Amino acid sequence: MISVTPEITLDIQQSLKRFFGFDTFRGKQEAVIRHLMKGNDCFVIMPTGAGKSLCYQLPAIMMPGTALVISPLIALMKNQVDQLQALGIEAGFLNSSLSKSEYEQVKAKTISQELKLLYVAPESLVKEEFIEFLNQANISFVAVDEVHCISEWGHDFRPEYRRIRQILQYIPKVPLIALTATATPKVQLDIQHNLQLENAELFLTSFNRHNLYYEIRPKHNPIEQIIRFIKQNEGKSGIIYCLSRRKVEEISSLLNVNGIKAVPYHAGLDSSARTQHQDMFLKEQVQVVVATIAFGMGIDKPDVRYVIHYDVPKSIEGYYQETGRAGRDGLEGNCILFYDFSDIIKLEKFMKDKPLSERESGKHLLYEMASFSESGACRRKQLLHYFGESFEDARCSSMCDNCRYPKEKFDASTLVKSALQAVQETGGKFGVAHLVNILKGSRNQQILLYHHDQLKSHGLHTEKSEKEWKSIFTQLILQDFLMKDIDDYGVIRLEKKGEEYLKNPYPIQLIKYHEIEKIERDPVVAEDFKAFDEILFDKLKKLRKDIAREKDIPPYIIFQDPSLEDMAAKYPITLTEFQNIQGVGSGKAQKFAAPFLKLIQQYVEENEIERTAEIVVKTSGKNSANKLFIIQHIDRKTPLDEIAQLKNMSMEELMEEIEHIIYSGTRLNIDYYIQEVIDEDKQDEIYAYFRHSDTDNLSLAQQELGNVYSPEEVQLIRAKFYSEMAN
């Protein structure tokens, strides 16, 4: 068990700023991190964009050893490792995309505890040699990402996930953190049972993505609508999901013909093509990725501004996860689904060769998706209710199509009483389809088998269509008159509110069922959450893209959109001010600030902008005292390891302080220490590397120079190089 002292708690805050550039945690992040660092198991359910990854990345940095992260997608692993390495955090992955020598190099780094995070696919765990390797490593904890893949009732079931707990028994006992963005109450129970997390602390964050706009459109000339929408949103990144590979290729070609840069992405493409297309999207070389809904992309791009479903997804969970890729930075996100019931029929036919139980559960998920699409109720309320969360907030009034364009209501008192009566008379043991058949007076085989043709509710409302009745039942579930049984999937039970209504009925209005209207609507753009200079923002964005192209990295790895917006709101012109920008840590400021500061300074002067003094941040007395202490002892040629001991720092922390001092413009001569610990030939070779390199990234330097040089040696020479060349 690792105790979290007040000092370590302070380090949590400091590390958040130092490595990730944030001043405060979001939601339950800090609570999760503290709980995990005490050695406890955690079950974390947070929507896409709420910061799940930070919940295991920050503890991994702070705890001794290497965190083992189990992730289902190779593309997602690479994307996360690239981002961590850009932040100066040692991370790696093991999967089939690596050569044998690369694979062995990552294993060696893990055993020597150079890596703080190691990403692996669940398939890797079952290999005997992999378990032997894990026993040689110092594993700090295990993180199971996308843990919904464990459940057969989830939308992305992976059989390998069900063996994770069994395999982990063969390595020393360490804390386990399981994370997912989507889990219905039934899926939650399945995960807890399979991973033996019944006693783990559950951290459940609201599923509400307040910045996303949800809209369902009829599938009427969808290609024309898509092209018009994308052209209205020129310069914004988007994803289009399709049912088949053929349709992916077709739409991708059509977009390119119409002057929209797009690439296809599906399982039929070879690995190198998928990787290339993903990188093109991340680096903003193309505007749109067109992908199959059956293939998870693992795209970790924060500024996707729209997600369009050309075809209906297989479940509400799948829809929620896919739409969740929009607006991960908290800004604008449009989610448009083109709906046609024939897509539901197609998907149902695709399941014909699957086992009966799988077909039945799949059918339930499909028809819930159809009910969601056809409903006139608030989309957000329906989504949250599906995940066991109530939503009473009136703020959705303009953030879904049903609230923005309200449907007609009607007095449904008689129909509500009849629906509740049918549930009561059948003992809460049947699903909506059977209850509708009772109310419509059906005499099918199942009705006769259970003698439900003799119920008082049988045939009470033959005039209502099946879709009208299903709409009524959906609304009664949303309003807590009825509930879906967690254990018996698809079964509807009477809630206390429903029982009370049967005893004392009162007037009640429900939304009238309508076929999806065949009209086109303009996209609703989420309101900006703060004012900023849009002209400067565009200039900063162009500069970011140019630098990213030069360095061959995704633009958002340099700075994300919220950081650029903060720059365009605060006009920082000094390094100190720049480090106070949202999402900018000292490391990133040192790497990337100069051209941005130059551009902002020029813009401020040309436009005679008056800046406020509020954004200037003074350094704390503690930091100033540390700086003076380090400078004085280096002047006295005190060995660096002794300075670290005197200040109760690790060598890593001391080196970071030394680099901060050098970056701020003070020249430090650490040659006396370097001569003692590094051979002269090594010094020359490392120094020559930094002289000719385009980047100061330590991980890249280590990779280029090879294992002959330790990370400490490379960092020391980098500090010497900076001090001599920049100061």
Quick one: tokens of 19?
């490595």
Residue that finishes a domain, picked among 572, 591, 615: 615
Mean pLDDT of 542-546: 91
CB 568 within 8 A of CB 537: yes
Residue 416 lies in a domain: yes
pLDDT given for residue 621 in this prediction: 39
Residue 310 lies in a domain: yes
Q: Which one, of 21, 14, 83, lies nearest residue 562 by Cα? A: 21
* pLDDT of 287 higher than 60: yes
- The predicted-structure confidence for 377-421, as pLDDT tens digits, reads as follows 899 999 998 888 888 764 576 899 988 888 888 999 999 999 999
CATH label of the domain that carries residue 330: 3.40.50.300
Residue 523 lies in a domain: no
What does the alpha-carbon distance between residue 75 and residue 87 come to, in Å, rounded to a whole number?
19
Indicate the residue type of 457.
S
Mean pLDDT of 74-87: 80
Q: Are strands 482-484 and 492-494 parallel, antiparallel or unpaired?
A: antiparallel
pLDDT given for residue 530 in this prediction: 43
How confident is the prediction for the chain on average, in pLDDT?
84
One-letter-per-residue 3-state SS of 614-652: HHCCCCCHHHHHHHHHHHHHHHCCCCHHHHHHHCCCCHH
50 vs 483, higher pLDDT: 483
* pLDDT of 599 higher than 90: yes
Q: Which residue has the tokens 């040629």?
A: 637
Element (H, E) at 509: strand 509-511
CB 214 within 8 A of CB 400: yes
Q: Which one, of 209, 204, 208, lies nearest residue 28 by Cα? A: 204
Question: Domain range holding 688?
Answer: 621-726
- The predicted-structure confidence for 507-532, as pLDDT tens digits, reads as follows 999 988 877 654 445 544 434 334 57
Residue that finishes a domain, picked among 511, 526, 553: 511
Worst-scoring range by mean pLDDT, 445-454, 630-639, 715-724? Answer: 715-724
Same domain, 357 and 223: yes
Spell out the residues 6+ positions from residue 156 whose beta carbon is closer than 8 angstroms to its own: 72, 146, 148, 149, 296, 317, 318, 321
709 vs 519, higher pLDDT: 709
Same domain, 198 and 220: no
Same domain, 611 and 650: no
Residue 526 lies in a domain: no
pLDDT given for residue 301 in this prediction: 84
Same domain, 279 and 373: yes
What does the alpha-carbon distance between residue 248 and residue 242 come to, in Å, rounded to a whole number?
6
Same domain, 626 and 603: no
Spell out the residues 6+ positions from residue 529 whose beta carbon is closer than 8 angstroms to its own: 330, 331
Confidence of residue 341 (pLDDT cuts 50, 70, 90): confident
Sequence-distant contacts of 369-373: CB under 8 A, at least 24 apart: 369/312, 369/313, 369/314, 369/315, 369/316, 369/319, 369/344, 370/312, 370/341, 370/344, 371/470, 371/471, 371/474, 372/316, 372/319, 373/216, 373/312, 373/337, 373/339, 373/516
Say how many C-beta atoms besides its own lie within 10 A of residue 617's C-beta. 13
Residue 451 lies in a domain: yes
Residue that finishes a domain, picked among 511, 546, 562: 511
One-letter-per-residue 3-state SS of 328-370: CCCCCEEEEEEECHHHHHHHHHHCCCCCHHHHHHHHHHHHHHH
Mean pLDDT of 164-185: 86
* Cα–Cα separations (whole angstroms), residue 659 to 183, 675, 723: 44, 19, 9
DSSP string, 157-195: --GGGGGHHHHHTTS----EEEEES---HHHHHHHHHHT
Same domain, 195 and 224: no
pLDDT given for residue 588 in this prediction: 74
Same domain, 19 and 144: yes
Mean pLDDT of 338-353: 84
pLDDT given for residue 664 in this prediction: 52
One-letter-per-residue 3-state SS of 284-323: CCCCEEEEECCCCCCCCCCCEEEEEECCCCCCHHHHHHHH
Indicate the residue type of 709.
Y
pLDDT given for residue 615 in this prediction: 32
- The predicted-structure confidence for 647-677, as pLDDT tens digits, reads as follows 878 888 888 888 777 755 467 899 999 998 8
Instruction: Please count the structural domains in the chain.
Output: 5
The CB-side HSE value for 386 (13 A sphere, CA atoms) comes to 24
Burial 632-651 (b: 16+ CB within 10 A, else e): ebbeeeeebeebbeeeebee
Same domain, 19 and 83: yes
Same domain, 567 and 646: no
* pLDDT of 616 higher than 60: no
* pLDDT of 353 higher than 50: yes
Q: What size, in residues, is the chain? A: 727
Q: What percent of the chain has pLDDT over 90?
A: 31
* pLDDT of 562 higher than 90: no
Same domain, 72 and 195: yes
One-letter-per-residue 3-state SS of 76-128: HHHHHHHHHHHCCCCEEEECCCCCHHHHHHHHHHHHCCCCCEEEECHHHHCCH
481 vs 360, higher pLDDT: 481
Same domain, 712 and 681: yes
Q: Which one, of 680, 666, 671, lies nearest residue 639 by Cα? A: 671
Residue 383 lies in a domain: yes
Residue 712 lies in a domain: yes
421 vs 154, higher pLDDT: 421
CATH label of the domain that carries residue 462: 1.10.10.10
Indicate the residue type of 594.
A
For the chain, the distance separating the N- and C-terminal CA atoms, rounded to the nearest angstrom, is: 45
Residue 521 lies in a domain: no
Task: Please give the model's pTM, rounded to 2 decimal places.
Answer: 0.61
CATH label of the domain that carries residue 634: 1.10.10.1390
Mean pLDDT of 428-443: 91
What does the alpha-carbon distance between residue 520 and residue 220 come to, in Å, rounded to a whole number?
9
What does the alpha-carbon distance between residue 401 and residue 521 come to, in Å, rounded to a whole number?
9
Confidence of residue 296 (pLDDT cuts 50, 70, 90): low
724 vs 632, higher pLDDT: 632
pLDDT given for residue 310 in this prediction: 95
Confidence of residue 5 (pLDDT cuts 50, 70, 90): very low
- The predicted-structure confidence for 125-153, as pLDDT tens digits, reads as follows 877 888 889 889 999 999 999 888 887 66
pLDDT given for residue 64 in this prediction: 93
Same domain, 669 and 565: no
* pLDDT of 36 higher than 90: yes
